[in-house]
Amino acid sequence: MRATEIVLVLLWFLPTMFCTNVDYDHRALVIDGKRRVLISGSIHYPRSTPQMWPDLIQKSKDGGLDVIETYVFWNLHEPVKGQYDFDGRKDLVKFVKAVAEAGLYVHLRIGPYVCSEWNYGGFPLWLHFIPGIKFRTDNEPFKVEMKRFTTKIVDLMKQEKLYASQGGPIILSQIENEYGDIDSAYGSAGKSYINWAAKMATSLDTGVPWVMCQQADAPDPIINTCNGFYCDQFTPNSKTKPKLWTENWSAWYLLFGGGFPHRPVEDLAFAVARFFQRGGTFQNYYMYHGGTNFDRSTGGPFIATSYDFDAPIDEYGVIRQPKWGHLKDVHKAIKLCEEALIAAEPKITYLGPNLEAAVYKTGSVCAAFLANVDAKSDKTVNFSGNSYHLPAWSVSILPDCKNVVLNTAKINSASTISNFVTESLKEDISSSETSRSKWSWINEPVGISKDDILSKTGLLEQINITADRSDYLWYSLSVDLKDDPGSQTVLHIESLGHALHAFINGKLAGSQTGNKEKPKLNEDIPITVLSGKNKIDLLSLTVGLQNYGAFFDTWGAGITGPVILKGLKNGNKTLDLSSRKWTYQVGLKGEDLGLSSGSSGAWNSKTTFPKKQPLIWYKTNFDAPSGSNPVVIDFTGMGKGEAWVNGQSIGRYWPTYVASNVDCTDSCNYRGPFTQTKCHMNCGKPSQTLYHVPQSFLKPNGNTLVLFEESGGDPTQISFATKQIGSVCAHVSDSHPPQIDLWNQDTESGGKVGPALLLNCPNHNQVISSIKFASYGTPLGTCGNFYRGRCSSNKTLSIVKKACIGSRSCSIGVSTDTFGDPCKGVPKSLAVEATCA
């Protein structure tokens, strides 16, 4: 660390020496009396690990961010009323200080409702059981608890001197979250609640502004902000407030049963540029790093364990190219315009249909944005006496109102192809296990197996019984069918969701699962009953509790009936079991025994190894894959369950839930408005087979993997894989702007610097070892699938090899001066694919 960096870090923590005043006016946030253009990105501290935080934050800073935005998760920090937890991944103070150490600001979104595809929207379940409580409305029991937790977090930040007014990094705070989307359902009580929340927040005297997102009627001095795929048309509710964008969705979240969401960077860059073109001065990517939903933290229901979000930094902490690099260039281009952006109002003119120019000019300072919002046609426009080519759905940025530094549809940044290198599970040779497969197991009992049970007449809603202490609730009943000779019949079950398994006389008879859109179940399961007593055991399970919607806390789960036996006595009789006396058991016996740690329980490794059987706990010992690359477990071969590595949950796994083919595409056109259903990939395949194991969860050897397999699988098919970069590519045309750092420089001969193709190996200890493809002319295809077009310079490969082989990075001018002209009068480009070693 350089001396200047040490001084900067120290200044964050010496409030008597370094204090910051944060305010706002109609144009921007004002920090120490100066308007600022700020680029922000969301990183949620519990969705990664403390060991990952510094690297994630540094990569964010390197990508051009000024601010890190995070929610605060109430149920994570106060799982039991009055008992707080800020350890490990929950160490909010450590995370905020890590951001400060990198010299970045923080936007702290306290909520305390967060949505965020997080279990129960971030609310602790004990809140549900407070007498008379109603969530997110003018309800005194709720307001008391909300104020108490909000005050707890604010006081914690103050104690550590983390607000900007104390010399810390926090420049913004948020109260409530997207309430305006559903507040009409609450009527006048919703309006009074929002007014109360605003007053409560500002009374806490943080010394920094508060915001409310998606809240058009946010009372002064609260700033109302925008969330969405596009916010260029957003207008604050007061002429005294700046235009802020708190959530620019980098794609969408992954569902069990859904395809992989992908948002092309050309569209994301277009949205960013349009926002600043139309007067915005603060925008945040949701997410910049999405991370992983460890434990049972997913909301939904049916939110997947991966929270990758197609973000610029992927789930594992690896830079996603070209998204990260192209956005970095966008940020640089916008910062080149900052002086003009903060000093002037945009003057908007229209250059033709779907063509728009915005000019910021004050004195000798001038910046311009030229936009083509047509989703199909490229256009050429005349602006200030010069001609500019604008691809469809793009924005060109001119920091001097003359020269284009960047067009959002033209990517200068390199792309990468990553792959997962699979290796079989390396068994720990020091393990005392004697099973040939090195797996041991314990059968989870079917039905009631614990002393702590409940018997009630009728069918009960699940969450009210479990309080979400477990995904699982047993509904058990013994029914005497002595007058029936024993036959095939049908068990009809209706449930609020989210999934169930039906056991008849100890044997699995059938299973059913819902989905995000239809979590409720209405199922007929063919069964065989015996003459006499029959045991019916129904295992109901949740897959993350609802996190969004008006009154979402009342939606419920579990088997509420009816439950009916159909077709008794040769099909002539039905028997409604709904109002009988049912016995209930919360959770699994293995959960109470602490089997997830792997250190307790009578593990069996002697008898026949059980495969494809429901309700089995499995355990094995293994050595970690070598190296520092991100590690995943491939759960192909398993059904559904939860996994723990050295006692730490890596989340629910469900590799058998296959994505539908709806809204899927093999290629994605960035042009035109993006929606959450556009550009889904990987359809017809399992939504998620790979599950992240952070390096900090692992030891070199002697690791323990425990699985609870709910529906049936074969753990011997499990494998580990490490994520590695396979190829580095770039494709730059002769009409691209130059590399952004050289945009306004002259060549030795006095001309302007032209476009160049730049390749960089992702790791500092790598160099370019081979060139897999190189063509200057009319190359076609994408990274990993380039091919020559109608013309190609025969000099290309030798020139690229000479410039790049043996170097960590190389830059090659894209012009006929470099390669000659293989096809005169034709627009040309250079495409290269290289490998690093």
Rounded Cα gap, residues 833 and 757, in angstroms = 11
The contacts found for 33-37 with CB under 8 angstroms, 24 or more apart, are 34/342, 35/281, 35/342, 35/343, 36/66, 36/281, 36/282, 36/338, 36/342, 37/276, 37/281, 37/282, 37/334, 37/335, 37/337, 37/338, 37/341, 37/342
Secondary structure of the chain: what % helix, strand, coil (to 5)? 20, 35, 45
Residue 332, both tokens: 């640089």
Rounded Cα gap, residues 473 and 712, in angstroms = 18
Residue 824, both tokens: 């005169």
Rounded Cα gap, residues 301 and 663, in angstroms = 20
Give the CA dihedral 601, 602, 608, 611, nearest 10 degrees. Answer: -10
- Which is it for strands 170-175 and 210-213: parallel, antiparallel or unpaired? parallel
| Residues assigned a catalytic role | 178, 247
CB burial readout 753-770, b (16+ within 10 A) else e: bbbbbbbbbbeeeeebee
CB burial readout 469-506, b (16+ within 10 A) else e: ebbbbbbbbeeebeebeebebbbbbbbbbbbbbbbbee
Rounded Cα gap, residues 42 and 60, in angstroms = 10
Rounded Cα gap, residues 225 and 243, in angstroms = 7
Q: Among residues 478, 577, 491, which one has the least CA distance to residue 526?
A: 491
Q: Taking a C-beta distance cutoff of 8 angstroms, is the pair 254, 241 a contact?
A: no
Q: Taking a C-beta distance cutoff of 8 angstroms, is the pair 152, 84 a contact?
A: yes
In SS3 terms, 317-360 reads as CCECCCHHHHHHHHHHHHHHCHHHHHHCCCEEEEEECCEEEEEE
* Burial class of residue 805, CB neighbours in 10 A (0-12, 13-18, 19+): middle
Q: Taking a C-beta distance cutoff of 8 angstroms, is the pair 830, 776 a contact?
A: yes
- Which is it for strands 355-362 and 768-777: parallel, antiparallel or unpaired? unpaired
The contacts found for 737-744 with CB under 8 angstroms, 24 or more apart, are 737/404, 737/405, 737/406, 737/407, 737/410, 737/412, 739/412, 739/811, 740/329, 740/332, 740/333, 740/405, 740/406, 740/412, 741/332, 743/336, 743/399, 743/403, 743/405, 743/406, 744/399, 744/400, 744/403, 744/405
